[in-house]
Amino acid sequence: MSEEILIVDDNADIRNIINELIIDAGYKTRLAANYNQALAEIDKKLPDVAILDVKLDKGDNDGIELLSHIKSKNKDTPVIIISGHANIEMAVKSLQHGAFEFIEKPFDQNRLINFVKRAVENFNLKKQNKEYESKLFSSYDLIGNSKNIVSIIDQIKKISVTESRVFISGPSGSGKELVARKIHKASARSKKSFIVLNGALLDMNKYELELFGEEKDNGSISYGALEKANKGTLLIDQVSEIPLDIQSKILRVLTDQKFKRVNGSNDVTVDVRLICSSSKDLKKEIEIGNFREDLFHRINVFEINIEPLNQRISDIPLLIKYFSKKISENYQIRELNIDENNSYILNHNWHGNVRELRNLIERIAILQPDSKDKISNIIKESLKNTHFDDQVAENSLSVPLKEAREKFEKEYLTIQLKKFNGNISKTANFVGMERSALHRKLKGLGIKEFN
């Protein structure tokens, strides 16, 4: 086994007993006899599991402080707290701070080893899940033949070889992070870290800590996103949600190429490529005073705009086919037989964009329907609230027949044109009209043709 267990106890006899137990169980160990030694070991390299005594040489809650320090570096690292002065309050406090288990001295040796084995399994499972999710996300391709997606693919090729800062705009679920990952993957920084900081998910009081890191009173360092992304790429997602005072500090970093950690006195210099994204219109945010115009111009050296899925209907059949294959492989089931021209899917509003479509296909995969009819029923049930036919029917009941027919034709032909990416010949063939007749019909309905 290659898992490494850090054992921290100021009692040499107990430390050695635990060490022998852990080695006999097949794990590697590192030892620390006091608070400062433990801190140095943690900062040198995070262990896979830590066993911490609550009371060391610094105070009554040394172990809790070390527990918090480990969790600030990686919240998934399991920590087992041991104590010879145990009480319910101490046990509760340990668990509240994220301890995996709490055990009293003198401890049962088999119980401790069982805790360690479960902790290692827990750590490995979380690590595997993260790697799987990261690999899965990174393996997704940018799929589509719409003008918008074809243009974005071309833009990615061109800007990946530069160091330019990029701003990606687009509605939620449209694939902004995927585009950012593609830029990183195709760049000279691809072997280095790709770090994501989501401005909408951060605690209002933790923006500085998350970005710049912190130098603590005990001499330890908690690294922020800027240092974690050193030599690599930092994506600030939903940058519009960053408070104005933090925006000014980001601007200073971009100007000076350096910053100070929270409570730090020395400048830290990093080499980071910055990509920002937002589902809000930053120009409107500037107008209402929520975003700094000077920062906008700094981050918006090159802009990529992803259109909503309902504006690029021609991409939907390709995405259905792609996600059906990808998700079927992931679930290790036979490929889903989804009708790529299903009217419920093509006419849905897709407020959640590509993410919503992917979730629908994943839902079908989980339910594993064994016929096309069952797949169709799942789609209808999932999308029925905003089904195009229901909307058309409701809107058409209050108007004369001629007007209702014109309205239906206009909506129907607009959708078909989008589906075939503006190709008149393909649209005419699909709807069963002559090309010239379709031209006249589009003109008569006031539908603007596009190429």
Give the largest Cα separation in the chain, rounded: 93
Positive or negative torsion for Cα 340, 373, 416, 177 = negative
Q: What is the mean pLDDT of residues 200-212?
A: 83
> What pLDDT does residue 387 have?
41
Q: Is the pLDDT of residue 401 over 60?
A: no
Q: How many residues does the chain have?
A: 451
Same domain, 185 and 291: yes
Whole-number CA gyration radius for the chain: 28
Same domain, 286 and 393: no
pLDDT tens track for 76-100: 899 999 987 766 777 788 888 889 9
Residue predicted with more confidence, 266 or 134: 266
**Beta bridge partners of residue 274, listed in sequence order:** 234
Query: In the structure, what pLDDT confidence band is assigned to residue 397 with cuts at 50, 70 and 90?
Result: very low
Q: What is the mean pLDDT of residues 350-366?
A: 88
Helices 62-73 and 88-96, axial angle in degrees (round to 10): 20
Q: Is the pLDDT of residue 443 over 60?
A: yes
- 112 lies in a domain? yes
Same domain, 71 and 159: no
> What pLDDT does residue 338 have?
87
Grouping H, G, I as helix, E, B as strand and the rest as coil, residue 349 is coil
Residue predicted with more confidence, 187 or 76: 187
Same domain, 336 and 410: no
> What pLDDT does residue 405 have?
66
The domain that contains 373 carries what CATH number? 1.10.8.60
**Beta bridge partners of residue 44, listed in sequence order:** none
Above pLDDT 70, what percent of the chain?
Answer: 91
- 63 lies in a domain? yes
**Beta bridge partners of residue 326, listed in sequence order:** none
Above pLDDT 90, what percent of the chain?
Answer: 45
pLDDT tens track for 290-338: 999 999 999 999 999 999 999 999 999 999 999 988 888 777 777 788 8
The range of the structural domain enclosing residue 165 comes to 140-307
- 381 lies in a domain? yes
Q: What is the mean pLDDT of residues 253-268?
A: 90
- 237 lies in a domain? yes
Distance of alpha carbon 327 from alpha carbon 337, whole angstroms: 12
The identity of residue 167, as a single letter, is: F
Q: Is the pLDDT of residue 72 over 90?
A: no
Q: Is the pLDDT of residue 386 over 50?
A: no
Same domain, 370 and 407: no
Of 343, 368, 386, the residue at which a domain comes to its end is: 386
Same domain, 20 and 38: yes
- Tell me what the pLDDT averaged over the chain comes to: 85
Of 307, 328, 359, the residue at which a domain comes to its end is: 307
Domain count of the chain?
4
- 165 lies in a domain? yes
- 451 lies in a domain? no
Same domain, 203 and 303: yes
Q: Is the pLDDT of residue 160 over 90?
A: yes
Same domain, 272 and 164: yes
Same domain, 218 and 165: yes
Of 364, 386, 408, the residue at which a domain comes to its end is: 386
Q: Is the pLDDT of residue 211 over 80?
A: yes
Assess whether the previous peptide bond of 171 is cis (omega < 30° from 0). no
Nearest to 168, CA basis, from 282, 308, 304: 304
Q: Is the pLDDT of residue 121 over 80?
A: yes
Q: Is the pLDDT of residue 394 over 70?
A: no
Residue predicted with more confidence, 13 or 420: 13
pLDDT tens track for 323-336: 988 888 777 777 78
Same domain, 364 and 395: no
Q: What is the mean pLDDT of residues 280-295?
A: 94
> What pLDDT does residue 22 have?
93
> What pLDDT does residue 390 have?
43
Distance of alpha carbon 177 from alpha carbon 183, whole angstroms: 10
Query: In the structure, what pLDDT confidence band is assigned to residue 450 with cuts at 50, 70 and 90?
Result: low
Q: Is the pLDDT of residue 133 over 60?
A: no
pLDDT tens track for 214-223: 988 777 788 8
The domain that contains 63 carries what CATH number? 3.40.50.2300
Q: What is the mean pLDDT of residues 12-38?
A: 92
- 85 lies in a domain? yes
- 450 lies in a domain? no
Same domain, 13 and 89: yes
The domain that contains 419 carries what CATH number? 1.10.10.60
Same domain, 21 and 96: yes
The domain that contains 234 carries what CATH number? 3.40.50.300
105: exposed, middle or buried (Cβ count in 10 Å: 0-12, 13-18, 19+): middle
Q: What is the mean pLDDT of residues 158-169?
A: 95
